[in-house]
A and B are shown apart, each in its own frame.
Chain A
Amino acid sequence: MYSTAISRLNHDQKPRRQGAAGFLAMVTLAAASAFGGEESARAPISLPTDLVTAIDPGPPKTVDQLRLLQEQVRRVVVAARPVTVAVELDDSVGSGVIVSGEGLVLTAGHVCVEPNRELTIRFPDGRQVVGRSLGVNHPLDSGLAQITEEPTNADGEPLKAWPHVPLAKEKATVGDWVIGLGQPNGFVSGRSPPVRLGRVLSIDKEAINTDVTLVGGDSGGPLLNLQAEVVGIHSKIGEQITSNYHVPVDLYRANWERLTSGRMTGVPDGEDPDDWRPMLGLAVRVVGNKLVVSQVFPGQAAEGAGVRVGDVLKSLAGEPLVAAPQAVERAVQRLEPFERVRLLVRRNGTDAELELWLGRGSVDFPGTLSAREGR
């Protein structure tokens, strides 16, 4: 309802002009979920019963009650600040939070822009690690990224798992005390993620509204409850100082399968869906009754999956490919950009099944079908 009047919190962003690049092989998807049943997930910090009484109902009324709340906020800051990161792409800067020992990073959809892009994850002390964007849901503004390096501490020594904070199992409720972290105005050397405190003012289906103040660069940063659990991810602001909106974590949960498998839903605000067509990144020619790969384009999906010139294409996503010039285009057209599919090829007399993470193209290109022709 309010999305049109509200400005997204990206620090700067321009539409991408080129297709997705990078090597699929580098990303090993964490099969384990950061939700339930995960042993490595960090437990929420406990909430003293005195504090529960002090903040329910209504705000604290005495200095002693304020002190209880202050002590709890300190604990949340200690737990969550070191795992609040800056998420940097070549054309956008935002924030994120590590939510699993495998290095899954929750962020905003408009920070990732699209799946399968290399990004830099920057810790508060400036240390950088490499990551890759996984799933993105633009209508909800949710995004997921994965640190692709082995866990290390600030000195570069190996760790068993990335330090992280858990995702909240319960939804936020109106009146909850919440702590906001992030990198407002982008990463600033020598500044830890600034702490902000507020309350949940209202909740609707798609956003939590709080008086935790946000600004560009905060997008993707965590909104935490008093148990240091992530309840929301910073997304948008409006004209008023109390117009701060966060994507509720339960929407990540509802969408978890698509997020972890690196799928994209919708397109970035104001962009033409025609610029987001599925792309394989290869060209074929028909030789006799075979479909033979004649070109593999650098940096595209086919190259990432290990397709080579000379491979004979047999099926894509379970659909047999007939030996016709348009066969690949037609098969790709039925898929979504960034869908993960299997490609069966015959190479040197043996069949090989390749895992393929489709890319996207904005122009006519071998391996895609033009919008006019196709749809």
Chain B
Amino acid sequence: MNAQENKRKWLCVFLAAACFAAAPANAQRDNFDETSESGDAISESIQQLFNSLWIPRSRFLNSPHLRSAFRTTVAEVRNATVEIRTRGKRIAYGGVVGPDGWVLTKASLIKSAVTCRLKDGREFDARLVGVDAETDLAMLKVAAKDLPTLDLSASQAPQELMEVSLQREAGASDSEPDDSLDDSVRPGDWLVSVGLGRDPFAIGVVSVMPRAIEKRPAFLGVALDLEHVASEGQTAGVKIQSVSPGGAAEEAGIESGDRITKIDHQPTPTVEELKRQIAARHPGDRVEIELIRGDESVVLLAMLRSWAPNPAERRAHYQNNLGGKLSGRRFGFPSALQHDTVLEPNECGGPVVDLDGRVLGFNIARAGRTESYALPVELVRTRLFDLMSGSLAPAGEPASPQ
């Protein structure tokens, strides 16, 4: 609780720093940083080229050499791993969770009709049968029988019991704790991301044991006209007073004076309703925005952002995006195991295993420069029935090619 309050305090400090204390000199300095950082990207890549010429590939943790050492680890699980594809291109990985064609993957990566490609080369059209918004898991169904299936029975991974472990760890003298023979997963353990290939496509280690990942507020990046009232005969909507530079709305093409009438087909007659709709979503979520511009009705697609444009968050955003793309939907999970595997967003959705090939979870997000998240297998187990039963069936049927 105390820590929570402190965190809030820090947030306030950041905001205060950004809003009040930032003298003009400071603001300039910040701008200077940003331009020089991007401006020097070229010299940085030259440096990198130079470095890469001199560093043998085998020295990198994610080298084919080290990955090949995990060949026996993934030998079984890769039989039950699939590639989720759209128009012949992989958009995600997935795992077979039922022999008659049940495939689990990351929901927000599925935007149109998909197929599932198995290790043996067969490829099936897939039907989207369930979407769990809370975990961002999706269940696909393909018309196949007797598929190799993932074993999701791995025992409970220990939760992050920090205080207990800290006391023990801090009190420990030079004698080593006798946990090396323990069967359960520990921070620092290998975590292997399985694809269809002989060797895993990526490896890393467990960074933090499963914990809840806080939802972050999503921003559209507009200032609303609070005075606006729809005139007679007009559809009720919320009028945009101004659009923040660099925000989601600007990127989507929203202009000041536009009147937003619907978000994802839900009417937004009032400011409160619009705010409620945005607040219910996550940064990275794509929303369909219906608006009226002059006499025209316009539909735009916007991707909500996780940051308000203040210098501290901009810098954090900038640094977290150095070195690779992040998943759109990457915050707000009931429980996730954090690991340091470098993933592309389209490499999420598939199973992760430990050194013994036990399925520990499913990659669910590339969340930052240092972190990827996997949903623990014990959480995944609790969602399977609802995802298969149709009780979480998506509203439309966007992905059911017949």
The answer to whether A194 and B3 have CB atoms under 8 Å apart is no
Q: Which of A4, A191, A216 contacts B316 (CB 8 A)?
A: A216
- The 0/1 profile, CB within 8 Å of B marked 1, for residues 50-87 of chain A is 00000000111111011100110111111101110000
The answer to whether B62 and A211 have CB atoms under 8 Å apart is yes
Shortest CB distance A318–B (Å): 38
Answer whether residue A198 sits at the interface, using C-beta atoms and an 8 A cutoff. yes
Q: Can you pick out 6 interface pairs between chain A and chain B where the beta carbons lie within 8 Å of each other?
A: A4-B40, A62-B69, A91-B13, A154-B167, A187-B7, A237-B323
Answer whether residue A29 sits at the interface, using C-beta atoms and an 8 A cutoff. no
Shortest CB distance B123–A (Å): 31
Question: Given the interface contacts A63-B70, A213-B369, does A124 sit within 8 Å of B162 by beta carbon?
Answer: yes
Which residue of chain A lies nearest to B189 when distances are taken between CB atoms in the complex? A70
The answer to whether B187 and A77 have CB atoms under 8 Å apart is yes
Answer whether residue A201 sits at the interface, using C-beta atoms and an 8 A cutoff. yes
Q: Which parts of B68-105 form the interface with A (CB within 8 Å)?
A: 68-70, 72-73
Answer whether residue A334 sits at the interface, using C-beta atoms and an 8 A cutoff. no
Question: Which residues of B have CB within 8 Å of A243?
Answer: 44, 48, 322-323
Which residue of chain A lies nearest to B17 when distances are taken between CB atoms in the complex? A14
Assuming A11-B312, A192-B162, A213-B340, what are 20 further A-B pairs, CB within 8 angstroms?
Answer: A5-B41, A5-B43, A60-B66, A66-B190, A70-B189, A73-B205, A81-B169, A81-B187, A82-B169, A91-B17, A123-B166, A184-B369, A189-B4, A189-B6, A194-B207, A194-B340, A197-B205, A216-B319, A240-B323, A270-B32
Answer whether residue A326 sits at the interface, using C-beta atoms and an 8 A cutoff. no
Question: Which residues of B have CB within 8 Å of A216?
Answer: 315-316, 319-320
Q: Which of B33, B163, B338, B355 contacts A70 (CB 8 A)?
A: B355
The answer to whether A7 and B322 have CB atoms under 8 Å apart is yes
Question: Which residues of B have CB within 8 Å of A1?
Answer: 47
Question: Which residues of B have CB within 8 Å of A93?
Answer: 10
Q: Which of B21, B58, B322 contacts A14 (CB 8 A)?
A: B21
How far is B8's CA from A189's CA once the two chains are assembled, in angstroms?
Answer: 11
The answer to whether B370 and A188 have CB atoms under 8 Å apart is no
Question: Which residues of B have CB within 8 Å of A154?
Answer: 163, 166-167, 170
> How large, as a class, is the contact surface on chain A?
35 or more
A-B interface pairs (CB < 8 A), number: 247
Which residue of chain A lies nearest to B182 when distances are taken between CB atoms in the complex? A74
Question: Which residues of B have CB within 8 Å of A90?
Answer: 13
The answer to whether B340 and A239 have CB atoms under 8 Å apart is no
Shortest CB distance B100–A (Å): 32
Q: What is A's interface to B at a CB cutoff of 8 Å?
A: 1-2, 4-7, 9, 11-12, 14-15, 17, 42-43, 45, 58-63, 65-67, 70-71, 73-79, 81-83, 88, 90-91, 93, 123-126, 128, 153-155, 163, 174-175, 179, 184-192, 194-199, 201-202, 209, 211, 213-216, 218, 237-243, 270
Shortest CB distance A148–B (Å): 19
Q: Which of A4, A185, A198, A209 contacts B43 (CB 8 A)?
A: A4
Which residue of chain A lies nearest to B180 when distances are taken between CB atoms in the complex? A71
Question: Given the interface contacts A4-B43, A58-B58, A75-B180, does A238 sit within 8 Å of B163 by beta carbon?
Answer: no
The answer to whether B207 and A196 have CB atoms under 8 Å apart is yes
Name A's interface SS: loop
Question: Which residues of B have CB within 8 Å of A76?
Answer: 188
Q: Which of B44, B51, B162, B176 contacts A202 (CB 8 A)?
A: B51
- The 0/1 profile, CB within 8 Å of A marked 1, for residues 339-359 of chain B is 010100000000000010000
The answer to whether B342 and A213 have CB atoms under 8 Å apart is yes
Answer whether residue B61 sits at the interface, using C-beta atoms and an 8 A cutoff. yes
Question: Which residues of B have CB within 8 Å of A77?
Answer: 186-188
Question: Given the interface contacts A2-B47, A43-B174, A78-B177, does A184 sit within 8 Å of B69 by beta carbon?
Answer: no
Question: Which residues of B have CB within 8 Å of A189?
Answer: 3-4, 6-7
Q: Which parts of B374-399 form the interface with A (CB within 8 Å)?
A: none
Question: Which residues of A have CB within 8 Å of B58?
Answer: 58-59
The answer to whether A82 and B37 have CB atoms under 8 Å apart is no
